[in-house]
Structure 1
């Protein structure tokens, strides 16, 4: 199963119908175009496209977009707090595009270092990847795949926001504060990654 967010609305690609308002059986490329169009241009809250060959559906889906790969980190400290950045009025986790010649792990560490100023990081394991769609200023549609890694910060440095990237704050938050403050002001993809992390710890 794949979950892709289109304007924060969930598009699920799966083998079977889901218990939601709108399911479409995969009948080829046009089914996917219809699904994305409905999520982008109507009040439809979520959509499921289903068919037996999930990998074929996914391959057709990725051909609709320019695919960009990014990597990021869910960073915890010795107090079991998680590191968040604040950008454009939303709480987020540090991440960015994978550069040519970089591994996903290298990109994730570099982006966390650049966006938060933290250096004393230990890369743990791969958590999961998330997908979302957006439009460039030139109208080109992008499918962004972000690979998330669990990291530990083992130093005593104070995080510093990378203001030239539009980051206004970097701070550690405990689970209670995340539930109260972060979840109402973050992206659905970040909620998925937090759930994956909390399932582990």
Structure 2
């Protein structure tokens, strides 16, 4: 059975229980989503990544799926752990970690209808900075699939021209590729997993 790491972004409607039975989903907890950081706790990209990487079992091999901003963490996870990450799937992804504003984070959390302590919002705005992952992405040797919503503002033309990836469009979806038809997304992911690690 394929072990599959799921690293969510700020907005995710996906229910992991709907995943095909041939995928063993390991949902990675995120520092921002699963904790209540103290006012002085650092929320830089590195701090968030370190929290994720501690959950990686290095005796296993995985396919990592990073959705939206979760894709930046999946990219870096593959870069730092090439023996463990055998494939990558990205959802609506541009290879950069954005500088986040208080207003943007607040809006995203409202869209997700999640109550987040104002400390998290202020901490992200304070500690985040723009990080370009283009060269790291191009240095990876594992297979990559990128999914984008048909109605998303993201364009495949925003990706590096030298990037070799299987690019797929999810019909009727926007930035949240799992709405309105999660089964289509899981079918692409399951097919990709079988190519990399046949059952």
**TM-score, length basis structure 1:** 0.23
User: Would you tell me which structure has more helix in proportion to its own residues?
Assistant: 2
User: Would you tell me which structure has more strand in proportion to its own residues?
Assistant: 1
**TM-score, length basis structure 2:** 0.23
**Structure with larger Rg:** 1
